[in-house]
Amino acid sequence: MRVAIMQPYFFPYIGYFSLLQAADMFVILDTVQFQRKSWMTRNKIISLKGDSTYIKLPVKKAPLDTLINQIDINNEVDWKTTLFNQLLVYKKAPFYTETMDIVKNIINADTNKLVDINKNILLEIINYLKLDCKIVVFSEMGLKVEEVNNADEWALNITKALNAEEYINPPGGVTFFNKQKYKDSDIDLKFIKNNLKQYKQYHLDFVPGLSIIDVMMFNSIEEIHKMLADYEEIQ
């Protein structure tokens, strides 16, 4: 079994979905400390100025050591209207209607938890793209793992507890993970690097690495499948 483990991101970029698509099981890690001003609560979309701008999910204030699964959305702020207005920048995009239907299903769902909305984002989008991957939330698994002594051992110990043979991670983990630990545990450690293929974004110069929303606005499901599969495996 091939496992990927990531924190829950807000409308993540296509590389996140390449990782998900390449995995047999995708574990949402929600029992570590919440990181402020991270991809968990924001992402980027295109700007008519030719660059990018942030879309944001407001959350309630909490102590610095609060875990991700304890973070609440601040629904006292009218962030939904703000988001929908920001996405009007895509009104002339070829797949605006289809993409907005998905975004509305996610945003209008009755939820107050950061983890829940970010999980729903993944579920709605993989359903639209017809991807085959099991998504689970770590805190809901009841999985017994060995004690974690270093940050890079969360993925290792969860993979071991699942009796999986392979763990995959984004390329940013190349310098973070201790490869010897995985080798000693007979786990094949690989890194998935999406090539971020260019596509037409109106008449503007291409802006890479934007939210999956941008990809869906300008590309068909078939085109997105090709983009998801356009990655390299690094060991």
Tens digit of each residue's pLDDT (9 = 90 or more) over 125-165: 999 999 998 999 999 999 999 999 888 899 999 999 999 99
Say what the pLDDT of residue 172 is: 85
Report the amino acid identity of residue 85. N
Nearest CA among 164, 182, 184, 163 for reference residue 173? 182
Q: Rounded distance, CA 231 to CA 225, Å?
A: 11
* Partner residues linked to 2 by β-bridges: 166
Say what the pLDDT of residue 107 is: 94
Q: Give Cα 192 distance to the centre of its chain.
A: 14
Say what the pLDDT of residue 170 is: 92
How many domains does one find in the chain?
A: 1
Say what the pLDDT of residue 110 is: 87
Regions of the chain short of the pLDDT cut 50: none
Q: Rounded distance, CA 15 to CA 96, Å?
A: 21
Residue partners of 10: CB distance under 8 A and separation at least 6: 39, 40, 41, 42, 43, 55, 57, 117, 118, 121
pTM to 2 decimals? 0.95
3-state DSSP assignment of residue 41: coil
Structural domain containing residue 104: 2-234
Measured torsion, CA atoms of residues 84, 94, 222, 29, in degrees rounded to the nearest 10: -10
Say what the pLDDT of residue 235 is: 77
E strand or H helix that includes residue 19:
helix 14-22
